[in-house]
Structure 1
Amino acid sequence: MSDLQNRVKDTFHHLHQHAEISWEETETTAYIASILQEQGCAVTAFADCTGVVGTYGNFDSNLPVVAIRADMDALWQEVDGKFQANHSCGHDAHMAMVLGLVWKITADPALKNKVALKFIFQPAEELGAGALKMVEKGVVDDVDYLFGIHLRPAEETRMDHAAPVIVHGSNTTYKVEVSGHDAHAARPHLTANAIEVASAIVGQLNNIHLNPRVPHSVKMTNITAGGKSTNIIPGNASFAVDMRAQDNQTMDEMTQKVKEIFQTMERLYGVTITITDTEYIPAAAVNDEAIQIMEHAAARVLGDDHVHPPLVTPGGDDFHFYTIKRPTLKATMLGLGCDLKPGLHHPDMTFHHDALMNGVNILYEAVTGVYRDGDTDS
């Protein structure tokens, strides 16, 4: 095992053991910033949020600027009976691979004047908010190419295989409150039971029918109602609705129908239903040139027969806000096969750690491929 491979794996284990949730990645930010500084990167951190950006290379020429993004945040979920920050989506691996890329790039001093690179370690992907914050900070204003990477479940991509682009769908989450009043459990005629309201909403969500040729889903993902006393009919409840659609038009149609259901339930039950928070991630906007660069990079590392066609998935990622807000960006996200099981967001998610170096090497080939094969007149 090479020194670089050992270093990447050790870094992964450190990040996995020190997971931090969205907007609270303070120790992670400091840890990564110190590594970037050690490797000769100019480091930018932010006073009002977590996240860090390292720049490296020659920015005084006409070289295209290439950025590589890694997401930093963990999920908050129950693991072995205890709620904790947990990297069950692979962000610890993404950070370790991009740091591996930093080490590999900076190990060759001859590259420094031939590249112009930004290493973006982005917070709060799980909330769909971190990419927008980085756009607001201007970190991609001068960027020509943007590459991302994400571990893929075994059912999508096998170990030692990869896809040059992940065609994510759109994701919208509503946090919702039902507002009414409580009543004695012996007198159900005096109130609208918020649990029954939520149950009726679930039934109506199941009756939403959209174009079956476009993958989509809508479901309630949590609900809270009532207190310790079991002889009270709760008039208030809070719940969340998660919506997925493979394209943005279908998402627009779905959100309109969900809002109409809420309005109908308000009239039927005489309660107030309020959307208190919305999280939104758009569907992927793909770029053929960036995909081709990543496809060639994956083929160099894994072989032509181990490179998959574009990977279409109902999952979402705020990576696509970069291209929606900056349409001139040429961007793609590598889907990395790693024998990931049982699945993303499962509290006991595992993957084959040897895949980490596949990710490092593919990203290296993609980055250097821009300067070797791409248009340097940007």
Structure 2
Amino acid sequence: MVEVRNIESRIMKIFEHLHTHPEISWKETETTEYLKNILVESGCNVRTFVDCTGVIGEIGEGKPVVAIRADMDALWQEVDGKFQANHSCGHDSHMTMVLGVLLSIKEMADIPNGTIRFIFQPAEEKGTGALKMVEENVVDDVDFLYGVHLRPIQEVRSGMATPALFHGAARHITGEVLGEDTHGARPHLGVNAIEIGAELVQRLNHIHADPMIPHSVKFTKFQAGGESANIIPGNATFSIDLRAQTNDMIEKLTTSVEDAVKSISDYYHVPINLSLESMMASAIVDPEAQEFMADSIRKVLGEENLVDPVTTTGSEDFHFYTLKKNHIKASVLGLGCDLKPGLHHPNMSFDHQMLMPGVQILTNTVLETLAHLANSHNLKS
């Protein structure tokens, strides 16, 4: 089992810096520079990007390639009456733990052959950062990929951990009803956009899909009309939120929404424009990667603190890596750390002492995976 006591004080200082210097999606410039400096000091081959934030560090060379990813961005939210960047999703801790893996490995004399890649990815909260890293060919040659996410007390108790998180898929759709206003005394001269909205709500409520796969479709915004009560609004804007536990289901729901909107548009003879906005992929967890993670949890926290894989209603753009590059075997560590009241709460807090066990679990997982792959390669040779 990996020993990390020698680097504990440095890891806590890193966390304190990252926690007190949050930056929002695609603007993580100072964070990128800070991480880059640590990677360079640690002897990594380092890569940054011309048109975006984020940084990659690498030790070792050749195949196999085992990667570990941390998200970098903070949320923009109101904290104690003031809007600011705020690490209420734990990304500061994720970066800290991944750097802890690097610092732990650098303390070791014997490292398995192959490459270990440290991916510090921007814009997870926008759902676009992982896609950008895929576009930049960051994971083209990766065999195994690991991630980590703090879990709230509602999912995993403090001192426990799960070897896999089954996040769901999500998609946001926006729309516009493009009609014309009419006088309240002459409703026959136009179409009421509010009536169209009510019809849409009913149609969405009647979308039927496999009940064995958790899913939901709902309006989250509808705006029509102005100050005058005697004008029937012809225009409106709206938003629809889709959730599903599988990527196939989110695509089926999207098609059903598009069909429903088209039928209403045709019936009322009013254009309704739809725009498919951000999407998050559902988890594609590899059993072998999950077992490497589970074995590390057993070694660090004990069998009694190993939790079964967690199915969660949240989303994570980590899963775009496996959706877009299906050769990658991946899993995400879910770390119980007394996180409360919940993720994205402006005053979220967690037990910082769980950072060190997190570092140990991830370090063991990366090294055991690399050793296994190296041995398999030698046997084939």
Distance of 1:97 and 1:178 partners within structure 2: 47
Residues 4 and 212 (structure 1), Cα distance of their counterparts in 2 relative to 1, 3 Å cut? same
Calculate the TM-score normalised by the size of structure 2.
0.88
Residues 158 and 372 (structure 1), Cα distance of their counterparts in 2 relative to 1, 3 Å cut? same
SS in 1 for 2:317: coil
> Counterpart in 1 of 2:261?
262
Deviations 1:340-363 (A, max 9, x none): 222223333222222222211110
> Counterpart in 2 of 1:18?
21
1:170 has 2:169 as partner: yes
> Counterpart in 2 of 1:307?
306
Letter in 1 for 2:325: R
Aligned residues: 374
Q: Which portions of structure 1, spanning 4 or more consecutive aligned residues, are displaced by more than 6 angstroms?
A: 228-231
CA drift of 1:231 comes to 6.8
Residues 163 and 127 (structure 1), Cα distance of their counterparts in 2 relative to 1, 3 Å cut? same
CA drift of 1:285 comes to 1.7
CA drift of 1:169 comes to 1.8
Of 191-200 and 69-78, more deviation after overlay is shown by: 191-200
Letter in 1 for 2:244: A
1:218 has 2:217 as partner: yes
Distance of 2:77 and 2:195 partners within structure 1: 27
Distance of 1:90 and 1:15 partners within structure 2: 10
Given that residues 77 and 86 in structure 1 are in contact (C-alpha distance below 8 angstroms), is that contact kept between their aligned partners in structure 2? yes
Deviations 1:81-115 (A, max 9, x none): 4443332222222111111222222233x246745
Residues 290 and 235 (structure 1), Cα distance of their counterparts in 2 relative to 1, 3 Å cut? same
Letter in 1 for 2:348: M
After TM superposition, list the pairs within 5 Å mapping 1:120-135 onto structure 2.
120-135=119-134
Distance of 2:122 and 2:185 partners within structure 1: 49
> Counterpart in 2 of 1:95?
95
Which of 45, 70, 73 lines up with 1:42 in the alignment?
A: 45
Deviations 1:349-378 (A, max 9, x none): 222222222211110110121244444344
> Counterpart in 2 of 1:329?
328
Percentage identity across paired residues of the two chains? 51
Letter in 2 for 1:4: I
> Counterpart in 1 of 2:274?
275
1:75 has 2:75 as partner: yes
Letter in 2 for 1:74: A
Distance of 2:176 and 2:111 partners within structure 1: 54
1:8 has 2:11 as partner: yes
Distance of 1:212 and 1:117 partners within structure 2: 42
Where structure 2 has 5 or more consecutive residues not aligned to the other structure, the ranges are none
Letter in 2 for 1:288: P
Distance of 1:343 and 1:3 partners within structure 2: 32
> Counterpart in 1 of 2:204?
205
Deviations 1:6-28 (A, max 9, x none): 43333333323332222222222
CA drift of 1:291 comes to 1.0
Distance of 2:228 and 2:13 partners within structure 1: 50
Distance of 1:349 and 1:199 partners within structure 2: 37
> Counterpart in 2 of 1:139?
138
Distance of 2:228 and 2:310 partners within structure 1: 49
Deviations 1:259-312 (A, max 9, x none): 122223323444322223422222222212111111111111110111112212
Letter in 1 for 2:95: M
Distance of 2:14 and 2:223 partners within structure 1: 38
Where structure 1 has 5 or more consecutive residues not aligned to the other structure, the ranges are none
SS in 1 for 2:265: helix
Given that residues 111 and 367 in structure 2 are in contact (C-alpha distance below 8 angstroms), is that contact kept between their aligned partners in structure 1? no
Distance of 1:38 and 1:2 partners within structure 2: 20
CA drift of 1:44 comes to 0.4
Calculate the TM-score normalised by the size of structure 1.
0.89
Distance of 1:175 and 1:65 partners within structure 2: 40
Residues 276 and 253 (structure 1), Cα distance of their counterparts in 2 relative to 1, 3 Å cut? closer
Letter in 2 for 1:201: L
Residues 32 and 184 (structure 1), Cα distance of their counterparts in 2 relative to 1, 3 Å cut? farther
Given that residues 183 and 190 in structure 1 are in contact (C-alpha distance below 8 angstroms), is that contact kept between their aligned partners in structure 2? yes
Residues 137 and 356 (structure 1), Cα distance of their counterparts in 2 relative to 1, 3 Å cut? same
1:52 has 2:51 as partner: no
- How big is the alpha-carbon RMSD for the aligned residues of Structure 1 and Structure 2? 2.6
Residues 182 and 7 (structure 1), Cα distance of their counterparts in 2 relative to 1, 3 Å cut? farther
Letter in 2 for 1:151: L
Residues 247 and 355 (structure 1), Cα distance of their counterparts in 2 relative to 1, 3 Å cut? same
